[in-house]
Amino acid sequence: MIRTTLLLLLVAYLSVYAWRNWFVSLCGAILLLAVVQHPDFPNSIGGIQGANPWNFLLLMVFLAASSERQQQGREWDMPACAGWMLLGYLFVVLSAAFRLMLEPPVAPDHTVMSIISEDLINCIKWVIPGLLLFDACRTRQRVLIALVVILLLYFLIALQVIKCMPLGSAVSGDALSARASKITQSNIGYNRVTLSMMLAGASWAMLALLPLAKRNIHKISLMAAAGIVALGQALTGGRTGYVTWAAVGLVLAVVRWRKLLPLIPAAVLLTVALLPAVRERMLQGLGGSRGNIAVQTDSYEMTSGRNLAWPRVIDKIQDSPLIGYGREGMSTTGIKEGLWEELQESFPHPHQAYFEILLDNGIIGFLLVVPFYLYCLRRSFQLLGDRIDALNAAVGGVSVALILALMIGAMGGQTFYPREGAVGMWAAIGLMLRVSVDWNWAKETGYPMYQEEECEQEMEFAPEWPANTYAANLN
């Protein structure tokens, strides 16, 4: 009760303070996502669906930001390509939800209002923090603060995982998976598979800030934080997350951080040596031997039943390849019910985000969603390659790590419909686009990208300079 009261007071304070400095309240809202899914956090006010404290805080931040933008006459300067891609993304989300409304109810509580609340409002709102960061982070100081806030979100979540999953609590791979599935959902509020993907990218994102650390104590702290996040990820028991962690690290090491190449196998060996339950979970279904008994490879166990679900999903995709079936395609096409009747397996979604977008929205939806991530990756890699300003490279590194984590993790689960587990990634995308816009502007004009001295007041734009530059604060 005390914790809930304190959280409500904090939300109330940030909601009021947003009208003085909405960037600070936005950062507070992002950090609150570490606990917003916790059972103690109120999910409604007065029994009204969707009326919860975090939504109210986000609304106040959005209104305050809109009011400030109108007063300053600031133009929206997102790259046209990114803007059109986001609109296409939004179109996919909207059309999928509206098509679901036309289908017979897939569950007793599946009503038009629930679809509007869960599949529209509660889907689109998770992108808003990223868009607000794009508008807010026009000084070097704010870019750095936003980076720290994004990574602190993942660090706080990792601490909760470690608290819920002490090292000695799981003695086998099965026990680790079962305990993580039960405990993380009830104590943290996030699904363990989602947590595994989130933390897989976040541990490498932490290391992207190393070039910004001037003192050894700061470098050691960042490496320790990355290790804590990696440990939290290992304790989720998500095998797709393990593969994602290794793949993200390998890509970043090959592209920019070649000195870290030996770290990946060393970390894997250390983990399997110190955490036998994690080792068993990683190798589950691959066969081998248990004592004197030979164990055959089990594709069902190795893929957690995906080898049975995916062929049925692919068959349905081929029946309607262009436009798909709308949101909740697994239910509306009968795949979920058929798998339960034949195999007693529950598959509410395909456990493969690429298949899900094809099943729900067809090739058209796929081509409106996936290229957006490829576009953001390209711009992130460009920033990561900046060897002049370490802050630009850090923003690019964080964005690459978090986007890759979703795109690789999507091969074994996840979803491309925005949800709470992807807010950190959307925030990183918004920050990356802001820095990328100003970086390109600085290269084209020769003006310095950042002001020499940070100004604590709200930015005033010189009328003869474009509004998309950090240098606009220069006297």
Write down the domain spans for the chain: 1-73, 79-295+348-473
Q: What is the dihedral of CA 110, 114, 119, 121, to 10 degrees?
A: 180
Q: Which of 76, 137, 82 is nearest to 450 (CA)?
A: 137
The structure tokens listed for 322 are 């262009």
Counting Cβ atoms within 10 Å, is residue 78 exposed (0-12), middle (13-18) or buried (19+)?
A: middle
Question: Whole-structure pTM over 0.75, yes or no?
Answer: yes
Residues 204, 150: Cα–Cα separation, whole Å: 13
Structural contact between residues 320 and 362, judged by C-beta atoms closer than 8 angstroms: yes
Residues 263, 271: Cα–Cα separation, whole Å: 12
The structure tokens listed for 119 are 């599949």
Residues 4, 259: Cα–Cα separation, whole Å: 45
Structural contact between residues 475 and 453, judged by C-beta atoms closer than 8 angstroms: no
Q: What is the pLDDT of residue 169?
A: 58
In three-state form (DSSP H/G/I as H, E/B as E, the rest C), the secondary structure along the chain is CHHHHHHHHHHHHHHHHCCCCHHHHHHHHHHHCCCCCCCCCCCCECCECCCCHHHHHHHHHHHHHHHHHHHHCCCCCCCHHHHHHHHHHHHHHHHHHHHHHCCCCCCCCCCHHHHHHHHHHHHHHHHHHHHHHHHHCCCHHHHHHHHHHHHHHHHHHHHHHHHHCCCCCCCCHHHHHHHHHHHHHHHCCCCHHHHHHHHHHHHHHHHCCHHHCCCHHHHHHHHHHHHHHHHHHHCCCCHHHHHHHHHHHHHHHHHCCHHHCCHHHHHHHHHHHHCHHHHHHHHCCCCEEECCEEECCCHHHHHCCHHHHHHHHHHHHHHCCCCCCCCCHHHHCCHHHHHHHHHCCCCCCCCCHHHHHHHHHHHHHHHHHHHHHHHHHHHHHHHHCCCCCHHHHHHHHHHHHHHHHHHHHCCCCCCCCCCHHHHHHHHHHHHHHHHHHHHHHHHHHCCCCCCCCCCCCCCCCCCCCCCCCHHHHCC
Angle at 25 between CA 20 and CA 31, to 5 degrees: 165
Tell me which residues of the chain have a pLDDT lower than 70.
1, 39-40, 42-51, 107-109, 166-181, 185, 271-305, 450-475
The structure tokens listed for 28 are 């507070």
Structural contact between residues 393 and 205, judged by C-beta atoms closer than 8 angstroms: no
Q: What is the pLDDT of residue 472?
A: 42
Q: What is the pLDDT of residue 286?
A: 53
